[in-house]
């Protein structure tokens, strides 16, 4: 007579060798390597994307007649790439022949250094992007005149009593400077938010893993 | 994870974890990964255990949840990296246990849907319909009907 599935189950597990628990080893080690490798892949893709933008932005800006925006943006992307490349070398140099905890701690330190530098850079970067965009739009050619001149003419005809500084209406200069100030003030925060947007998930996992490991070491 | 916690709170219930992880994995490597992940999640979630159910029931629930989540992640990864994977049948290691009938039963169980696998494992572990329903988050009527259907399907596969 055929055995029922219940009997197969019971009889099958009577033998002790059927239920040998695997040894818990290398769990954190593997997880540490995984998390760093995943980050490295993402970081590489990000760098490639920045290089691609740096290359493409010049012809695109030439075609769209915003070359004054394209050149400073290309320079910015190249600078960011150089800095990221330096960080990438430091990341590769992290010693893997240490314990998982030390390896992850080194990686964590690298991440924090990278975020600090990125935040400082963002303080200048976002106002710089704003200035580049303003320049780009200022020199857009419309009906044999540039957009900037049309803007000045518009403001001076609307507010004829407005004060001029080197030919630029104060009503234009003040909001421009305020915007630069705001971007410089919040640049660091925007930079952190930007990193969090791209790497947030993996950085939270890193934090979790490190806190588990720290608990283990107590 | 402290070795004390593993020895006293997990190891006595390792059989549960092994039985469940075996049903959701095809290779020894995957099985060990799932087993370790379940142990880690049990340790991480130990403070959430409210003693409303038995510790063993809680381990069943957690093991199933971890396996289902892991499987889902794996499916997503395999969709992204299809070229890295071999077809399932190539990976299947069907001679895990020394008992041939048990190996055949596991092979049959693996052909069921992920949820049905969980249901039949709990049934075979002699959990009541109520407990199975609680663990799987459904009602007892549904469990009863499902078990009858799953057993029928398993019988067909085994024959």
pLDDT band at A97 (very low <50, low <70, confident <90, very high): confident
Q: Which of residues 33-72 of B touch A (CB under 8 A)?
A: 35-36, 39-40, 44
pLDDT at A34: 77
Which ipTM score applies to this complex?
0.80
Of A115, A109, A111, the residue nearest A40 (C-alpha):
A111
Assigned CATH topology for domain B1-93: Rna Polymerase Sigma Factor; Chain: A (1.10.1740)
pLDDT for B22 beyond 70: yes
pLDDT digits (tens, 9 = 90+) for B46-103: 888 887 788 888 899 899 999 988 888 777 766 655 444 334 443 445 567 778 888 8
**What is the rounded CA–CA span in Å between residue A180 and residue A127?**
5
If you count residue pairs, one on A and one on B, with CB atoms under 8 Å apart, how many are there?
A: 60
Given this model, what pLDDT does residue B138 score?
A: 85
Residue B49 to residue A102: CA distance in whole angstroms: 31
Interface test with A, best of B14, B20, B32, B43 (most A CBs within 10 A): B32
- Please tell me which residue, A95 or A197, carries the higher pLDDT value: A197
The DSSP letter of residue B112 is S
Look at residue A207 and tell me whether its pLDDT is greater than 70.
Answer: yes
pLDDT for position B86: 39
Please tell me the predicted confidence (pLDDT) of residue B88.
Answer: 45
- Mean pLDDT, residues A116-120: 93
Q: What is the pLDDT of residues A123-144, one digit of tens each?
A: 999 999 999 999 999 998 887 8
**CB distance from A95 to chain B under 8 Å?**
no
Using the 8-state DSSP alphabet, how is residue B8 labeled?
I
Here the tokens at position B54 are 């038995």
Q: For residue B141, what pLDDT is reported?
A: 87
Q: Determine what percent of chain B is predicted with pLDDT higher than 90.
A: 28
A100 confidence band (pLDDT: 50, 70, 90): confident
| B41: confidence class by pLDDT, cuts 50, 70, 90 | confident
Residue B101 touches partner A, C-beta closer than 8 Å:
yes
Predicted pLDDT at A25: 57
Ranked by mean pLDDT, the top range of A62-66, A182-186, A212-216 is: A182-186
Contacts of A2 (CB under 8 A, 6+ apart): B159
Q: Is A13 within 8 Å of B105 when comparing Cβ atoms?
A: no
In chain A, positions 194-213, which contact chain B (CB-CB < 8 Å)?
Answer: 212
On whether any CB of chain B is under 8 Å from the CB of A15, the answer is yes
Q: How confident is the model over B131-148, as a mean pLDDT?
A: 89
pLDDT band at A216 (very low <50, low <70, confident <90, very high): low
User: What was the pLDDT predicted at B93?
Assistant: 55
Burial of B68 (0-12, 13-18, 19+ CB in 10 A): middle
Distance in Å from the first CA to the final CA of chain B: 44
Contacts of A3 in chain B (CB under 8 A): 101
Task: Classify domain B97-159 at the CATH class level.
Answer: mainly alpha
* Mean pLDDT in residue range B10-29: 88
> Are B102 and A21 in contact (CB < 8 Å)?
no
Q: Which residue has the higher pLDDT, A103 or A117?
A: A117
Cβ atoms of B114 and B104 closer than 8 Å: no
**CATH topology agreement for domains B1-93 and B97-159:** no
- Summary mean pLDDT of chain B: 82
State how beta strands A168-169 and A164-165 pair.
Answer: antiparallel
> What residue spans define the domains of chain B?
1-93, 97-159
In this predicted structure, the answer to whether residue A26 has a pLDDT above a threshold of 80 is no
> What is the Cα–Cα distance from A83 to A92, expressed in whole angstroms?
15
Which residue bears the tokens 């990296």? Answer: B81
Residue with tokens 């289902």: B68
- What are the structure tokens assigned to A214, written together? 């720290």
Alpha-carbon distance A192 to nearest alpha carbon in chain B (angstroms): 28
| Other Cβ atoms within 10 Å of A185 Cβ, number | 13
What's the DSSP call for residue B114? H
For B95-124, what is each residue's pLDDT tens digit?
677 788 888 899 999 999 989 999 999 999
Question: What confidence score (pLDDT) does residue B45 get?
Answer: 83
According to the model, what pLDDT value does residue A36 have?
87
Q: What is the pLDDT of residue A180?
A: 96
């Amino acid at each position: 007579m055929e055995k029922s599935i219940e009997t197969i189950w019971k009889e099958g597990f009577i033998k002790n060798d059927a239920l040998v628990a695997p040894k818990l080893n290398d769990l954190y080690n593997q997880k540490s390597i995984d998390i760093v490798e995943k980050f490295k892949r993402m970081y590489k893709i990000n760098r490639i994307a920045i290089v691609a933008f740096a290359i493409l932005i010049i012809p695109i800006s030439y075609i769209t007649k915003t070359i004054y925006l394209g050149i400073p943006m290309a320079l910015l992307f190249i600078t960011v790439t150089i800095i990221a490349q330096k960080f990438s070398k430091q990341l590769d140099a992290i010693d893997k022949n240490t314990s998982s905890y030390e390896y992850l701690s080194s990686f964590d330190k690298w991440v924090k250094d990278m975020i600090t530098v990125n935040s400082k850079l963002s303080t200048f970067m976002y106002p710089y992007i704003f200035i580049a965009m303003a320049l780009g739009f200022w020199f857009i050619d419309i009906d044999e005149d540039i957009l900037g001149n049309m803007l000045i003419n518009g403001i001076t005809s609307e507010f004829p009593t407005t004060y001029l500084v080197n030919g630029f209406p104060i009503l234009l200069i003040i909001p421009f400077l305020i915007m630069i100030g705001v971007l410089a003030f919040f640049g660091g925060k925007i930079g952190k938010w930007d990193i969090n947007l791209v790497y947030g998930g993996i950085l939270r996992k890193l934090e979790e893993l490190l806190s588990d490991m720290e608990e283990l070491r107590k | 994870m402290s070795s004390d916690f593993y020895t006293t709170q997990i190891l006595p219930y390792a059989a549960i974890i092994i039985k469940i992880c075996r049903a959701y994995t095809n290779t020894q490597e995957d099985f060990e990964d799932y087993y370790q992940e379940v142990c880690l999640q049990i340790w991480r979630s130990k403070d959430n255990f409210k003693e409303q159910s038995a510790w063993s029931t809680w381990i069943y629930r957690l093991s199933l949840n971890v396996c289902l989540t892991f499987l889902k992640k794996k499916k997503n990864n395999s969709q992204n990296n299809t070229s890295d994977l071999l077809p399932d049948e190539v990976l299947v290691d069907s001679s895990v246990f020394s008992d041939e009938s048990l190996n055949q039963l596991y092979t049959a169980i693996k052909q069921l849907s992920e949820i049905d696998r969980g249901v039949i494992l709990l049934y075979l572990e002699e959990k009541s319909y109520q407990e199975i329903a609680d663990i799987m988050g459904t009602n007892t009527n549904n469990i009863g009907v499902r078990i009858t259907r799953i057993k029928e399907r398993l019988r067909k596969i085994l024959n």
